[in-house]
Amino acid sequence: MNNYKNSVPHYRKALPLALAIATAGLTTAFTGAAMAAENGKFRIGVVTFLSGPAAGPFGEPSANAAKVLVEALNKGKLPAPYDKLGINGAEIEMVIIDEAGGAAKQVEEFRNLVQRQKVDAVVGYISSGDCLAIAPVAEELGAMTVFYDCGTSQLFSEDKTPQFVFRTSLDAAVDNIGAARYLAKTRPDAVRVGGIQQNYAWGQDSWNDFVLSMAQVMPKSQVVESQMPKVFQGQYGAEISALSVKRPEIIHSSFWGGDMEALVLQANSRGLLEDATAVLTCGESALARYKDQAPNGMIIGGRGPFGAFAPQNPLNNWFTEAYQSAYKAAPTYPASKMAQAILGLKFAAENAKAEPGKVPAPIEIAKAFKGATFESVSGTVQMARAGGHQAMQGIAYGEYHYDKASKQGSVQNVIAFAGECVTPPDGTSAHDWIKAGFPGAQCN
């Protein structure tokens, strides 16, 4: 029926199992779950890390964003075009599940959400390993599934033809092409490049795409060191020493969550970042926590036009104010991406074939989602890749700056690159497109 069944994902090592957490619309309880399909509400399963090292910097902001969105949507408080109550007039119920536990556990939880909890759609997943494991199951069950964060380039390819799986965030290739282009504009004379990545699909793909991109846009650069510690290792003394010996001018890392913050703290305290500029593709997520423990001038990204890189528009202005009011903090990029996924789902469901006030069938939502263009907190989103299942947007990078007087971190010297500049054409792998010299790229 679909080609996902023939794919073999690379699973990351399982984390300790944590209990699933449910919220109720925000009043949903497990009691009566079997009747969810008959209660006239639109039931969403939301999956993100609620425990473990990824919870604080990634999972909690994402879950908080989902709560802000669902509560406001059920009251019709969002700006147009999302000011209609709920989804297609139906009240939204939400079940939040902890992503901790590893890919096998997440497949079990996903089946439970669809078959027992009777959700109408699932929005979630940070880990690329989890996304690769969930995708074939979503197709098998015919379950409407929106990946909001995972970036693996392996999700969509020519031998995988999805019907029910969508990703409203960007492919990791975009992160690393954008990072190379930013360096070409701001550090054109840098030659010596090092890298440290988590040793699984995400880190390996990110490093490969970055190195290939650097060979194109900064051909005089050379890789002097590459380190690949295991995911969630936490301590990086040996890797930092190995990098320091090679004296790189640039240090690229796709670390995320607690790993990324630990790396910055340890590398900065050991002097590695005094002479080398760190390029953190996921760096924006800790913008408020670096403080003076990270050097000014460190290059950070937000995996697209999210968080501190989000534009000024009515939706983002509303979202930022609502999130800050609820949680006394600005939304970082994981929160923006969760908001985007829910808005995309709402757009598709309200443009799907269904009776007013009724929940559309998953196949009808999928038909409306495929190739859609919708507005978000990040601006206009085009589902223009992977046959209409993958979002295309631009990406931005900037430099971290900490003001000691105000005790606030900010992003300066921001440069944005259009989606057409950093995204491979549909049907072309990132690897082939980069090696060919980005044919057809439209860059300012």
Count of CB atoms situated within 10 Å of the CB of 189: 8
Burial class (CB in 10 A: 0-12, 13-18, 19+), 431: middle
Which pLDDT score, from 0 to 100, does residue 26 have? 38
Tokens of 72: 């406001």
Q: Helices 362-369 and 333-350: crossing angle, nearest 10°? A: 110
Q: How far apart, in whole angstroms, are the C-alpha atoms of residue 98 and residue 17?
A: 9
Tens of pLDDT, residue by residue over 27-36, are 333 333 333 3
Q: How far apart, in whole angstroms, are the C-alpha atoms of residue 157 and residue 405?
A: 49
Q: How far apart, in whole angstroms, are the C-alpha atoms of residue 107 and residue 208?
A: 28
pLDDT < 70: residue spans in the chain:
1-38, 158-159, 357
* CATH numeric code, 173-309+393-435: 3.40.50.2300
Q: How far apart, in whole angstroms, are the C-alpha atoms of residue 138 and residue 146?
A: 10
Q: How far apart, in whole angstroms, are the C-alpha atoms of residue 3 and residue 136?
A: 8
One-letter amino acid of 427:
G
Query: Is residue 145 within 8 Å of residue 125, measured between CB atoms?
Result: no
Fold agreement (3-170+310-392, 173-309+393-435): yes
* CATH numeric code, 3-170+310-392: 3.40.50.2300
Q: How far apart, in whole angstroms, are the C-alpha atoms of residue 312 and residue 322?
A: 15
Which pLDDT score, from 0 to 100, does residue 354 have? 84
239: enclosing H helix or E strand: helix 237-246
Query: Is residue 365 within 8 Å of residue 95, measured between CB atoms?
Result: no
Which pLDDT score, from 0 to 100, does residue 370 have? 98
Query: What are the boundaries of each domain within the chain?
Result: 3-170+310-392, 173-309+393-435
User: What would the DSSP string read from start to end of 21-38?
Assistant: ----TTS--STTGGGGGG
412: enclosing H helix or E strand: strand 408-417
Burial class (CB in 10 A: 0-12, 13-18, 19+), 275: exposed
Which pLDDT score, from 0 to 100, does residue 25 have? 36
Q: How far apart, in whole angstroms, are the C-alpha atoms of residue 254 and residue 51?
A: 21
- Separation of CA 310 from chain center: 14
- Separation of CA 355 from chain center: 33
Tens of pLDDT, residue by residue over 230-248, are 988 989 999 999 999 999 9
| CA trace torsion 67, 73, 74, 77 (10° rounding) | 110
- Helices and strands, number each (H, E), in the chain: 13, 15
